[in-house]
Structure formats: C-alpha cells, structure tokens
Amino acid sequence: MAEQSMIGVETALAPSETAPGLWPDWSELEQRIARTAYDTAHSRALASLIIEIQLQAALVDSAAALWQLHDYLSIQRHRIEGRFDFRPQPILFLFASLVKDQLLDLAELEGLADAKLAKIRAMAQF
C-alpha cells in the first residue's frame, strides 16, 4: 500500500497502479520515476497553494472576505484534483504541463524512454 506524506501525497506505487497490463509501455523503473515526479510536482503545487492561502488569510477582515477565500480554495482544490491524474493515458500531457508551469523539471524525468521525454519536451513548449 502507498505511504502518505505530511501533506497527503502518496509516495509509493499502490498495487492497483502497477497491475499487469495497466502500464504496458512502461518499465517498472519508468513507473517508479513517473510516480516520484508526480508526487514531487503535486507536493510543490500544494506547497505553493498553502503559501498563497496563508497570505490571503492574513488579509481576511470580514465575513465576505472569508467566504471569498473559501470559494477560492474550493476552486483550487477542484483544479488540483482534476489536474493530477496518475494514469498512463494522460500522464505525458500532465508532465508536459507541469514542466511548462515549472512544477517539474525535465531532469526529474530522466530515466524515462527517450521517446517519452521527447514528447514531454515538445508538448511543454506549447
């Protein structure tokens, strides 16, 4: 089973994520690299949001501002949960967007097949 970090990010592949046939074009090493990169970027996205929310919370001075912060946080939760999808079909697109948004560095994906890295690199430019 996957372990949980301090901010709720899984740090190991769950058995269901490595079921035979689920990742047919990915070696076991590539799956581990992908999971580590995913967890790293997810942690960075959450850490950035936490800092942003702390700054905004310090400025809350009314009920209206409090509910506005609540709404913003709900939107960000929906955005993050929708974006971070650890399945083989969308993972290259996710990695490309994370590289583009500087939540992930291509060096953190070293060890993936050259064709996968080339796709991520190309998609990150747009």
Q: What is the pLDDT of residues 75-93, one digit of tens each?
A: 999 999 999 999 999 999 9
Q: Where are the chain's structural domains?
A: 26-124
Q: Give the number of other CB atoms < 10 A from CB of residue 12.
A: 15
Average pLDDT, rounded, for the chain: 88
Percent of the chain with pLDDT over 90: 80
Q: Is the pLDDT of residue 110 over 70?
A: yes
Q: What is the pLDDT of residues 12-38, one digit of tens each?
A: 455 456 555 689 899 999 999 999 999
Q: Confidence class of residue 61 from pLDDT cuts 50, 70 and 90?
A: very high
Higher-pLDDT residue of 1 and 82 is 82
Comparing C-alpha atoms, which of 83, 106, 82 is closest to residue 94?
A: 83
Can you spell out the DSSP letters for the chain?
A: ---B-TTS-B-S--GGGG-TTTSTT--HHHHHHHHHHHHHHHHHHHHHHHHHHHHHHTT--SHHHHHHHHHHHHHHHHHHHHH---STTTHHHHHHHHHHTTSS-GGGGBTB-HHHHHHHHHHHT-
Rounded to whole angstroms, the Cα distance separating 59 from 31 reads: 42
What's the pTM? 0.82
